[in-house]
């Protein structure tokens, strides 16, 4: 970029400058993945069973509804959902951690019924908002998100490379930024590349829940539901179920 161009940009009003060259942000980024969707889809393609199809539809509906409800409860958070995953942005790490932990909990029941739909997630920091094209926004058949950035890449990488199971991770770089109310539920761990990361125990921190693990669902505590499921899956399940079951046992014993 020439000196004259840099000078011109430095003199522009901030709002106009953003429209031309975008802007950087220290927003926090959460990536959520509805774990096991590929397995469900593969099973349905092989079986053609309408019950499998209904299961996919109900799980996806529950995922989208959960994200929508949490956006309503936490208005400083912005979420973009596509397929079986979502990116969620916020300037407040406490809000983002609350969103994540509550989403994980909500995906274990529906309408007072135990309904286990495991999530995985990663949290990082750093966004870049690129210039919004006004003509593109006007297109009814084209939707896009105006965010990119290292935070999005790292959040998705944390989910991909962290220990298997229904788990939530954050970047080690956020160690000193973890809010006091969450610090007792965060521990150091390693990803598959032996890189230091942090794991958050989503079961333990309650904001919208009144003691989640002791909540009564279908005449049984959530703790017991999760323990029973984990015991069966970790000993008799397929590889995916064993990974989920083992992670539940680990978190319950944390």
In order, the DSSP letters of 193-213 are T--EEEEE-TTT--SSSSSGG
User: Does residue 234 form part of some domain?
Assistant: no
Burial of 158 (0-12, 13-18, 19+ CB in 10 A): buried
pLDDT of residue 43: 72
Asked whether residue 64 is assigned to any structural domain, the reply reads: yes
What is the model's pLDDT at position 131? 61
Of the listed ranges 1-5, 22-26, 92-96, 122-126, the least confidently predicted one is 1-5
At residue 6, does pLDDT exceed 70? no
Mean pLDDT within 83-87 = 93
Q: Which tens digit of pLDDT belongs to each residue from 113-135?
A: 999 999 999 999 987 776 665 66
In a domain? residue 142? yes
**Residue 191 belongs to a domain:** yes
pLDDT of residue 234: 96
- Is 169 inside a domain boundary? yes
Q: Hey, what long-range contacts does 241-244 have (CB within 8 A, 24 or more apart)? A: 243/164, 243/165, 244/35, 244/36, 244/118, 244/165, 244/166
Orientation angle between helical segments 239-252 and 222-236, nearest 10 degrees? 140
Give how many domains the chain has, as a whole number: 1
Residue 90 to residues 97, 99, 126, 190: CA-CA distances in angstroms?
10, 10, 10, 26
The count of other CB atoms within 10 Å of the CB of residue 207 is 17
Confirm if 165 and 244 have CB atoms less than 8 A apart: yes
104 within domain boundaries: yes
Please return the burial class of 16, using the count of CB atoms within 10 Å of its CB with bins 0-12, 13-18 and 19+. exposed
pLDDT of 112 > 60? The answer is yes
- For the whole model, what pTM was predicted? 0.86
The distance from CA 45 to its chain's CA centroid, rounded to whole angstroms, is 27
**C-alpha separations of 60 from 17, 53, 83, 85, 125 in Å:** 39, 11, 8, 10, 27
In a domain, 146, yes or no: yes
pLDDT at 37: 75
pLDDT over threshold 80, residue 42: no
> What is the arithmetic mean of pLDDT over 213-229?
95
- Residue 98 belongs to domain with CATH number: 3.30.70.1230
The answer to whether residue 33 sits within a structural domain is yes
Q: What pLDDT score was predicted for residue 55? A: 77
pLDDT at 14 over 90: no
pLDDT of residue 141: 81
Q: Average pLDDT, whole number, for the chain? A: 87
Share of the chain above pLDDT 90, in %: 64
| Residue 147 domain boundaries | 22-210
Mean of the pLDDT values across residues 134-138? 65
The answer to whether residues 28 and 123 touch, using CB atoms and an 8 Å cutoff, is yes
Residues 233-244, mean pLDDT to the nearest whole number: 94
Mean pLDDT, rounded, for 204-211: 82
- Measured in degrees and rounded to the nearest 5, phi and psi for residue 74 equal -125, 80
């Amino acid at each position: 970029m020439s000196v004259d161009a840099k000078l011109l940009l430095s003199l522009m009003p901030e709002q106009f400058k953003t429209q031309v060259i975008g802007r950087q942000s220290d927003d926090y980024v959460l990536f959520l993945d509805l774990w096991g969707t590929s397995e469900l889809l593969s099973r349905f393609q092989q079986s053609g069973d309408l019950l499998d199809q209904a299961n996919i539809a109900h799980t996806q509906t529950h995922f989208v509804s959960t994200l929508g409800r949490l956006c309503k409860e936490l208005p400083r958070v912005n979420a973009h959902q596509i397929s079986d995953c979502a990116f969620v942005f916020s300037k407040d790490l406490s809000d983002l951690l609350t969103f994540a932990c509550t989403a994980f909990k909500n995906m274990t029941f529906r309408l007072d019924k135990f309904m286990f739909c495991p999530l995985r997630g990663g949290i990082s920091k750093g966004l870049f908002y690129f210039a919004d094209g006004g003509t593109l926004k006007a297109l009814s058949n084209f939707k896009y998100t105006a965010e990119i950035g290292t935070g999005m890449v790292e959040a998705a990488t944390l989910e991909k490379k962290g220990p298997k199971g229904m788990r939530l991770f954050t970047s080690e770089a956020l160690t000193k930024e973890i809010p006091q109310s969450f610090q007792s539920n965060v521990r150091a761990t390693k990803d598959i590349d032996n890189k230091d990361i942090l794991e958050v125990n989503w079961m333990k921190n309650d904001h919208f829940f009144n003691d989640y693990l002791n909540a009564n669902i279908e005449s049984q505590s959530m703790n017991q539901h999760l323990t029973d499921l984990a015991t069966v899956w970790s000993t008799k399940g397929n590889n995916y179920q064993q990974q989920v079951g083992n992670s539940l046992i680990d978190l319950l014993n944390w």
